[in-house]
Amino acid sequence: MKRSQSSFCALLCFLALSCTHGSAPSNMPQAQPRKEASDDPFELIIDDITPFIQKGYRTAERTPDDIDIIVIHSNNFLGVDSFSTEGCLQQFEAANVSPHYMITREGIVIQMVKEKDIAWHAGESILPGTDRRALNASSIGIEIVNTQSEEPTPHQYKALLELCQQLTQKWGIRYIVRHSDIAPDRKTDPWLLDWDQFEHDLKERVSEDLLFPRR
C-alpha cells in the first residue's frame, strides 16, 4: 500500500472549498493515471486529503469497540463529467456530508475523513436484522465513483476489496452493508456492483464469519 498527501488531491480539495472564495489555482497539476498493463500487480494507493476537509464530519476518538460496520456507496458528479473528482468533492462540501474514503475511476483511494472521526455518510439508517439506528457513529463509509449505467471499473473493484480487507482486519469489522441495505426507502446504491461476488471475494480474503445483512 502506498499512502501520500498528494498535491493534486489537495488542490482538488481546495477547488471544492473555493466555490465561495474565488477560483482555484490555474496551474493545477494533472493526476497520473494507473498503468493499464494487465501483468502489473495491483497496488493500493491512498491519497490523504483529511487536513483540507472542513465539513461533513465531526472529530472523535473512536476505537475498535466503536466501529463494526463498513457502508459501501456510489456517487457521481451531477455535471458534464460524471466522474469528476473535483466535482464530487464540491458536491460533498455543498451538502455538508462526507465519506471516509472515495475511490476514483482509476482505483485511487482518496481519504477524506480520519477513520477515528465520525463521517456523515449514512444518514437516517438502520442495520438489517437489528434495531440499531443512526449508523454514522459505528461505521466507516466508502464511496465508489460510478453511475447507475456505468459499473465500477476493475481498478475500483480491486481497490475496494483491498481497502475493505485492511479496514476489516484493523478495526475488527463485523458487518459489510450497502447504502441501500441500511436506508432502503431512500437509497439504491452502490450501483451495478456484483454484491454476491463481492461478498464471496471479501470473505475469501478475510473470514467466512463476515456478515452481509441485506434488505
Question: In the chain, what are the domains?
Answer: 2-29+42-205 (3.40.80.10)
pTM over 0.85: yes
The least confident of 18-27, 110-119, 136-145, 183-192 is 18-27
pLDDT at 32: 46
Which long-range contacts does 125-130 make (Cβ < 8 Å, 24+ apart)?
A: 125/71, 125/182, 125/183, 126/182, 126/183, 127/69, 127/175, 127/177, 127/182, 127/213, 128/177, 128/181, 128/182, 128/213, 128/214, 128/215, 129/213, 130/213
Q: Average pLDDT over the chain, rounded to whole?
A: 88
The tens digit of pLDDT for each residue in 71-126 reads: 999 999 999 999 999 999 999 999 999 999 999 999 999 999 999 999 999 999 99
Give the active site residue among 86, 93, 106, 143: 143
User: What's the whole-number mean pLDDT along residues 158-173?
Assistant: 98
pLDDT at 130: 98
pLDDT at 33: 52
Confidence of residue 34 (pLDDT cuts 50, 70, 90): low
Residue 17 has pLDDT above 90, yes or no: no
- Cell reading at 81: 463529467
As a whole-number percent, the residues of the chain with pLDDT over 90 amount to: 80
Confidence of residue 1 (pLDDT cuts 50, 70, 90): confident
Rounded-to-integer distance, Cα 106 and Cα 9, Å: 14
The number of residues making up the chain comes to 215
Residue 30 has pLDDT above 70, yes or no: no
pLDDT at 28: 33
Which long-range contacts does 148-154 make (Cβ < 8 Å, 24+ apart)?
A: 148/74, 148/188, 148/191, 148/192, 149/192, 150/82, 150/192, 151/191, 151/192, 151/193, 152/103, 152/190, 152/192, 152/193, 153/105, 153/106, 153/107, 154/107
143 is catalytic: yes
Confidence of residue 4 (pLDDT cuts 50, 70, 90): low
pLDDT at 26: 34
User: What's the whole-number mean pLDDT along residues 192-196?
Assistant: 98
Residue 138 has pLDDT above 60, yes or no: yes
pLDDT at 191: 98
Residue 7 has pLDDT above 60, yes or no: no
Rounded-to-integer distance, Cα 9 and Cα 139, Å: 24
Cα dihedral value 80, 81, 83, 87, nearest 10: -70
Higher confidence at residue 49 or residue 12? 49
